Amino acid sequence: MTPLAAILARRIRATGPMTLADYMAECLLHPQHGYYGAQEPFGAAGDFTTAPEISQMFGEMIGLCLAQAWDDQGRPAMFTLAELGPGRGTLMADVLRATRGVAGFHEAARLHLVEASARLRAVQRAALAGHPAHWHDDMGTLPDGPLYLIANEFFDALPIRQFRRDTAGWQERVVGLRDGRLTLGLTAPAPLAALAHRRADTSPGDIVEYCPAAAPIIAAIAARIARHGGGALIVDYGSGPSLGDTFQAIRDHAPDDVLAHPGQADLTAHVDFVELARAARRRQRGYARRAPRRVRSLNGWASPPAPAPLPAI
Query: What integer best gives the mean pLDDT of the chain?
Result: 88
What per-residue confidence (pLDDT) applies to 307? 33
Number of structural domains (the chain) is: 1
Q: Judge whether 310 lies within some domain.
A: no
Region for residue 54 given its phi and psi (left: phi exceeds 0; alpha: psi -120 to 50; beta: otherwise)? alpha
What per-residue confidence (pLDDT) applies to 50? 84
Enter the pTM of the model. 0.85
Q: Judge whether 278 lies within some domain.
A: yes
pLDDT tier at 118 (50, 70, 90 boundaries)? confident
- Residue 304: strand pairing partners: none
How far apart are the C-alpha atoms of 66 and 170, rounded to whole Å? 42
Full domain range(s) for residue 51: 1-301
Lowest mean pLDDT among 63-72, 131-140, 173-182, 291-300: 291-300
pLDDT at 115 > cutoff 50: yes
pLDDT tier at 303 (50, 70, 90 boundaries)? very low
Q: Judge whether 193 lies within some domain.
A: yes
pLDDT at 292 > cutoff 70: no
What per-residue confidence (pLDDT) applies to 40? 67
pLDDT at 134 > cutoff 90: yes
How far apart are the C-alpha atoms of 139 and 147, rounded to whole Å? 11
What per-residue confidence (pLDDT) applies to 38? 65
pLDDT at 8 > cutoff 60: yes
Q: Judge whether 123 lies within some domain.
A: yes
Alpha helices by DSSP H, listed for 149-238, are: 214-228
Strands 297-298 and 301-302 come out as antiparallel
Taking only the tens place, the pLDDT of each residue in 251-289 is: 988 999 999 999 999 999 999 999 999 999 886 665 544
CATH assignment of the domain containing 216: 3.40.50.12710
Read out DSSP for 224-289?
A: HHHHH-EEEEEE-SEESS--S---EEEETTEEE-TTTSTTTSEEE--EEHHHHHHHHHHHHHHTTT
- The pLDDT of 211-228, averaged and rounded, is 93
pLDDT at 160 > cutoff 70: yes
Of 155 and 295, the structure prediction assigns the larger pLDDT to: 155
Q: Judge whether 309 lies within some domain.
A: no
pLDDT at 43 > cutoff 80: no
Q: Judge whether 240 lies within some domain.
A: yes
Q: Judge whether 307 lies within some domain.
A: no
What per-residue confidence (pLDDT) applies to 68? 97
- The pLDDT of 223-245, averaged and rounded, is 94
